[in-house]
Structures are given as structure tokens and as C-alpha cells.
């Protein structure tokens, strides 16, 4: 008696099936091809993982937007203080050169006035950009053409009535 012939031991047929011998199908009776259940399951897992990643990125982005807003708010007083200290430095330079306090005050006033004019000019240009001026002009031209067309039709019909 050989060791493999004992009860419960692997037989030659089972060894061939384990090795994947030609002619023997390891999945007896199952057709070969893609396992659609595994594909659907993998697709579902991928969608779930992608949704989790998206949710985490949205949370991170929202927190970043809040922090960015707070930093921008903190920038306003820093910008104002920097602007004022720069204006005072220029005023001191004007005072140092001329020795007159009035010249220093006028220098600061002119500097602030120039900055205000530049700011208002930029605001006006931005208002013009967001005012849909091209669209309004196109609508106005279309309305003029429709009015001319209506006036021509009305003039033509009124002439034929006479």
C-alpha cells in the first residue's frame, strides 16, 4: 500500500486537478469567462472609495475656504497700518527736506487723494466690466431693428390704405 492510497489521501486525479492538468476542468461545470459578480462588486467598491475621497476633499476645502476668509479679513488691518506707516514715512521725508510741517501734511493728503482716485478709477472699470454692456448694446440694436421693421410695415400698410 502506497502512502497516497490511504483513506483520505489525495489521489492522482485530485493531484491533476490541483495542478490544472489539461483536459480536467478545475471548476467542474462552471463556464469559463469573467465573473460579473466580482466586476460589479469591484465597481461598487471603487464608487464607494471615490465618494469617500470626494467627501473628505470637500470637507478639507470648506475648512480651507473658512481659514482663507479669516486670513483675508486679518489682511485688511495689516494693509491699512502698512499704508499709514508708508504715508508717514513720506511725510517725514517731506518735512526733513523742507523743514515745514504744512508741506508734510499736504504731501500725505495728496498721497491719499491720489490713492483714492486710482481706487475709484479701478472700481469704475470693474463696474463697467460686470455691467453686461455688450449684451445691453446688442439688445438695444435688436430693439431698434424691430422698431424699424415695425415702422416700415406700419408705413407700408398705411400707404396702401390711402
Q: How many domains does the chain have?
A: 1
Identify the domain containing residue 65 by its residue range: 44-151
Does residue 64 lie within any of the structural domains? yes
Does residue 144 lie within any of the structural domains? yes
φ, ψ for residue 147, nearest 5 deg = -70, -40
Quick: pLDDT tens for 68-125. 999 999 999 999 999 999 999 999 999 999 999 999 999 999 999 999 999 999 999 9
Task: Count other Cβ atoms within 10 Å, centred on residue 91.
Answer: 19
φ, ψ for residue 36, nearest 5 deg = -65, -30
Please indicate, yes or no, whether the overall pTM of this predicted structure exceeds 0.85. no
Amino acid at each position: 500500500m502506497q502512502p497516497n492510497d490511504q483513506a483520505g489521501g489525495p489521489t492522482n486525479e485530485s493531484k491533476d486537478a490541483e495542478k490544472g492538468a489539461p483536459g480536467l476542468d478545475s471548476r467542474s461545470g462552471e463556464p469559463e469567462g469573467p465573473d460579473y459578480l466580482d466586476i460589479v462588486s469591484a465597481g461598487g467598491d471603487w464608487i464607494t472609495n471615490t465618494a469617500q475621497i470626494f467627501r473628505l476633499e470637500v470637507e478639507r476645502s470648506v475648512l480651507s475656504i473658512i481659514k482663507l476668509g479669516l486670513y483675508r479679513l486679518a489682511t485688511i488691518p495689516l494693509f491699512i497700518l502698512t499704508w499709514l506707516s508708508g504715508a508717514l514715512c513720506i511725510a517725514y521725508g517731506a518735512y526733513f527736506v523742507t523743514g515745514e510741517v504744512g508741506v508734510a501734511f499736504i504731501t500725505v493728503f495728496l498721497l491719499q487723494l491720489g490713492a483714492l482716485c486710482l481706487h475709484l478709477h479701478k472700481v469704475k472699470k470693474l463696474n463697467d466690466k460686470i455691467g453686461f454692456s455688450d449684451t445691453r448694446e446688442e439688445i438695444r440694436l435688436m430693439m431698434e431693428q424691430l422698431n424699424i421693421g415695425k415702422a416700415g410695415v406700419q408705413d407700408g400698410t398705411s400707404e396702401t390704405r390711402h
